[in-house]
Structure 1
Amino acid sequence: MQRILPETDLEKKLMSLGAPFIEENQVLDELFQVVGSDLEEGKELSPEIREQVMDEIGEYFFRLDMNYGPDIKLDCLAILEEFWGVADRETCQKSLENIRTQGHRTKFNVLRSALPSDGSIDAVSMEKFRQIFRFDLEEGQELQMSDADYSKLALWVQRTNKYLKEPGILAWDASRYIHLVRLSFVAGHLSDIQAWSEILKLAPLIEGRFSNWMDFSQSLLIGRTFWSGSDDPRVKSICEKLLGHPASPWQFISWS
């Protein structure tokens, strides 16, 4: 029998990193209908009730199959191939390794380091920033960006210093890593044993890197904006809901 749910607190914490992708389907309110009577404001949960609530949260947020299973296998296969370049186990594991070792955070950190920390951007720094940004473009790939676009991006990257702590945009890489494992499991590229093994490989990268879920969500949102090129109010709303909703896994799993 396949193991769909986490068995340890560490596995639950790691699965919680992918909560923003799960909440895209707006499951928190549905979950609250199940456990809401136990989550009255100011009410302290007994260990038994807390465990029951966590079990229900797990059915929505911790499952490898995202509570859909084979019903979405074809969708997952298409998403993986179109958006992740993943077509089989080999390309899946290669993509997961890339996120663990580099991800989007590596390029972001190099771009940040190219800019002065005092808020100014001179011509030399701007040219270095431009070269770094274009460095990993594939041969023949054109990037339609004007000088004004580069300046706007550089200013934005520089401003993120006010909001990001040492991990940078690690949360974004961690969250999409968990989502990639889930998609690959449902698609059949990974067995349950392989999926949990890949998930646990993320632990050394993430443990002790964030003080709380607020820091994590800030890191995630900035990382997603860097990847997409624009803010997404919907994703910001999802993170805000996960931070404040009484049935959110982020309310029950601590970084300390």
Structure 2
Amino acid sequence: MPDIAVFGAKHPLRSIEQRWAYAVGAPYHVGHGHPIDGLPEAVDADDERAKLARDWGIDDRASLIEAMNHLGSEGHRHRLALKLRYFAMIWRPAVASMREELRATIREGGDEAEEAKADLWRLDAVQANLPGIRSSSLLAFDAARGIMLARDGLMLGWLQEDEAWAYMGEVARDVRRSYSSWAAFGADFVLSRNIWAGDGDPDVFDAVIAMLGRDAASPWRTLEWDAGDLAVPAPVRFGAELAWTLERR
């Protein structure tokens, strides 16, 4: 990941609605060394394709749309929210037993050890009532990545502008419905990413979120939370295969 900095595009987006939607992906624009307010003038297409293949298993338009559809319909938030809800409902006497079971799995090693380690952290985070953990929709992490994938689809020519911006608009509307400010969205991005990772260890994204909150050039400082017309239309669809929605289908 490059040195982090907030900087603008040579040709920034003109529409407030597009700038607002694009700002939802700001953690990844900054983290990946791209402009904050529009697509980069030039990209290393081979490098971008390699990163998508390595991190997402995406190598063409079809697999990109499949990943975007997954983020829209479910992402990581559905499975993890159910797990956190279960951890919150466990009777106190059963918590110690669950901890020991998870520790035993960790000691045994193997394929299940890493997930057990993450679940132990999640269980302890719920029991310690980590701020926001019992009320979070865990949307922010999935939403920011949805914008990132739409951005990459545009850069690589795998998405048409109208379909990419329609998708990003739907993400933006759900984000605005779910949070009260950029600060709240940023805090939930950190929380939901930590819950996905299964640890609270600081990393570069903590610095990115902090920078977005304080840098005068950040769209999180220049765009009001209620800026633009983000009226809620019917779900966006790419043919019959893609829709961003918080509803399970």
TM-score, shorter chain, exceeding 0.5: yes
How far the C-alpha of 1:204 sits from its partner, in A, is 3.7
What CA distance in whole angstroms lies between the structure 2 residues aligned with 1:96 and 1:242? Answer: 24
Query: 2:219 matched to which residue of 1?
Result: 249
Shift of 1:112: 1.2
Segments of structure 1 that go 5 or more residues without pairing to the other structure are 28-59, 131-140
| TM-score normalised by structure 1 residue count | 0.69
Quick check: which one's helix share is greater? 1
- How far apart, in 2, do the equivalents of 1:151 and 1:116 lie? 13
Decide which structure has the larger Cα Rg and report it.
1
Once the two structures are superposed, residues 182-220 of structure 1 have per-residue CA deviations (whole angstroms, 9 ceiling, x without a partner) of 112222221223321221232342222111122111110
Report what 2:45 is aligned to.
73
Q: How far did 1:9 drift? A: 2.2
Match of 2:206 in 1: 236
Deviations 1:155-201 (A, max 9, x none): 12444552247442211111111111111222222122332122123
Give the counterpart of 2:67 among 86, 91, 95: 95
CA separation of 1:212 and 1:120: change in aligned 2, threshold 3 A: farther
Which residue of 2 is the match for residue 112 of structure 1? 84
Contact 1:104 1:223 in 2 (8 A): no
Following TM superposition, by how much is the alpha carbon of 1:61 offset from its aligned partner in structure 2, in angstroms? 1.3
Q: Deviations over 1:109-156 (max 9, x none)?
A: 1011102369946259949x98xxxxxxxxxx9322486764333112
Q: Would the aligned equivalents of 1:72 and 1:186 in 2 still touch at CA under 8 Å?
A: no
Give the % identical residues: 21
The one of 184, 195, 204 aligned to 1:215? 184
Contact 1:164 1:218 in 2 (8 A): no
TM-score, normalised to structure 2, is 0.71
The more displaced of 187-196 and 89-98 is 187-196
Answer yes or no: is the 8 Å Cα contact 2:61–2:158 preserved in 1: yes
For residues 193 and 149 of structure 1, what CA distance do their matches in structure 2 show? 39
In the TM superposition, what whole-angstrom CA distance separates every residue of 1:46-91 from its partner, at most 9, and x where no partner exists? xxxxxxxxxxxxxx3122x3x143x321111111111112121111
- Supply the AA of the counterpart residue of 2:22: M
1:14 lines up with 2:14 in the alignment? no
- CA RMSD for the aligned pairs? 3.1
Contact 1:119 1:158 in 2 (8 A): no
- Is the alpha carbon distance of 1:125 and 1:196 closer, same or farther for their aligned partners in structure 2, counting shifts above 3 Å? farther
**CA distance change for structure 1 residues 147 and 208 in 2, over 3 Å: closer, same or farther?**
closer
Q: Structure 2: any 5+ residue segments left out of the alignment?
A: 1-10, 103-109, 227-249
8 Å contact from structure 2 (residues 84, 122) kept in 1: no
**Number of residue-to-residue matches in the alignment:** 207
Counterparts of 1:89 and 1:148, CA distance in 2:
35
Q: Give the Cα separation in 1 of the matches to 2:113 and 2:24.
A: 33
Query: CA 1:221–1:9 in structure 2 vs 1: closer, same or farther (change >3 Å)?
Result: same
